[in-house]
Structure 1
């Protein structure tokens, strides 16, 4: 699982920190207010699991509850509009956005297909990948997408994560390129490669946690995992959430309750009762697993939601304050300033001047 992951040449947090600094036109214009935006290129005979794992994780993180609106996260299948791409299972998927302006996305993800179809794409696809690389947009290779990147000279000086089944294929095709087979995914500078299959969920949750916060990652784990009383799920909850231990059912349920009650926050004692424990025990769980008390974690969730509303809407600050559960605008402003180092008003002004990347 993720504990075997290695990050050569720098931690993933540094990559995320650089996303809004390395490219012109970043900020709200690029992402439309979303916190995580991914453009997806599908190669012929691609695996549906890789596409559905990525997009389903994003849609759970993107909205409140199970409404599935692409708000806080966005994704597009890129290619030639009007065409459809055939998957390895025989089902096809429509293209919904053209190959232009890669800088509008945080990442461009390539989902490779069967090995004998890797060269069966228009030249515009590979040209777009080089355009994205030139614009310093990080590239993701899912399943045999790592082979696509390598074939196009986009893995030079980097290590790839390859499924063990394709280890010999990699050796034969790219004898001079490093690879590993003992990880779910690997982040090497501005290239991210993933073995495919269920490992795609691990990567999606990791990126959601980095960009949108541990509460969003926790929601994805909660929504996409059936078993509640065991840590033997297909998703490694501990790393996905960024907690010391995240297999605790009460923690997940408490976070879900916080999300559902942001405008009118619940008392921590009430949350404890609803998840079947005492206030003192719930506080112990949160401190051990998140290094925050439930009240501190709850406030962070509401403030992040408020920051997103400031970036993605034109609502008045007072209205946002009430929607995030603060008694009045001055209280919200003080808490916001303390959490993010700038006031909501300054954030809005920077947004209007397209200076958001320098502040966030």
Structure 2
């Protein structure tokens, strides 16, 4: 993590950084092709505003790519960088900025640079799917980390020994990761608070019109009530049970029993509030999880089918085609090509 200068005051208070002659911490942003622009901007802008709020250079930054040439974000915007990964040196922290299809990119040069930096004590961070690169480089062993909720299942499947949470961000010694999107703002504000105290952190928060720094353990996704637009407690409870038991689906009767109602009543509630049966909703959740795994991992189709509660690859493929209009293999091929492939 960004190491705070000085020591805490007696009583648990925080002493801001020392005088104006202190050198700025240099942050290296390692941009991966198709990186998330919002996550990158959310990480770098708090640093700029911290400098502005303090009236001096608390932070400096440098952008890197594989070859030192501009990198295109997932939104199509091209960003100029200064140096290739291999030239990264003298950094306080290196932050990997990931985005879509991060697992399909050759990260060998980046991983070599990160391992070299780590050997010199450089702090390592990641926004959005940058966590995948740190994990693949073996640089998260023994550390707690997080990643965007959409990539959580696939990362956990590929790196089963990884201590992976679903928090907004994780700061564990000199490793810090966040879920991406605007959660990068909260992570960087927390680090600024540690480095330079509450006055500067509060001013940066106000400048961002962010109102408050979210805690790390706040949920990544909207709650079910907001996401579904439904307030009925039995419907919300059953959907939560479905989301928690993708690999071993519960029967409609078992769901109803746990919700304290009859199967027929449960079916009526789902049709009334969601417009379809509980069986249909459950199948959609499982197929959407399967789609994420197909796009984000190289696991065999049969393994993915079983992980999503299907008894055979043929049953899975049939259900997938009926729902998405293309086969699982076409989905995976389309993800690799960056296109939408029809079945």
TM-score bucket of the superposed structures, by smaller chain: 0.5 to 0.7
Change (3 A) 1:95 1:171: same
Counterpart residue number, 2:27: 38
Change (3 A) 1:157 1:17: farther
The aligned runs of 1:7-26 (5 Å cut-off) are: 16=4
Counterpart residue number, 1:137: 122
Rg larger in structure: 2
Q: Report the Cα distance in structure 1 between the residues aligned to 2:160 and 2:215, rounded to whole angstroms.
A: 35
Are the aligned partners of 1:80 and 1:95 in contact in 2 as well (CA < 8 Å)? no
Matched positions, count:
202
The aligned runs of 1:95-244 (5 Å cut-off) are: 95-99=81-85, 102=88, 104-114=90-100, 116-121=101-106, 123-181=108-166, 183-225=167-209, 233=211, 235-236=212-213
Are the aligned partners of 1:159 and 1:177 in contact in 2 as well (CA < 8 Å)? yes
* 1:292-350 Cα deviation digits (max 9, x unpaired): xxxxxxxxxxxxxxxxxxxxxxxxxxxxxxxxxxxxxxxxxxxxxxxxxxxxxxxxxxx
Aligned CA RMSD, in angstroms, stands at: 2.8
Is residue 76 of structure 1 aligned with residue 62 of structure 2? yes
Shift of 1:213: 2.6
Q: Report the Cα distance in structure 2 between the residues aligned to 1:120 and 1:199, rounded to whole angstroms.
A: 24
Counterpart residue number, 1:308: none
- Describe the SS at the equivalent of 2:140: coil
Gaps of 5+ in 1: 1-11, 19-31, 227-232, 240-360
* 1:95-139 Cα deviation digits (max 9, x unpaired): 12344575522211001121x343524633221100111111110
Gaps of 5+ in 2: 7-20, 217-343
Are the aligned partners of 1:44 and 1:121 in contact in 2 as well (CA < 8 Å)? no
Is residue 48 of structure 1 aligned with residue 23 of structure 2? no
- Describe the SS at the equivalent of 1:219: helix
Change (3 A) 1:237 1:171: closer
Q: Report the Cα distance in structure 2 between the residues aligned to 1:148 and 1:81, rounded to whole angstroms.
A: 17
Shift of 1:60: 0.7
Are the aligned partners of 2:35 and 2:97 in contact in 1 as well (CA < 8 Å)? yes
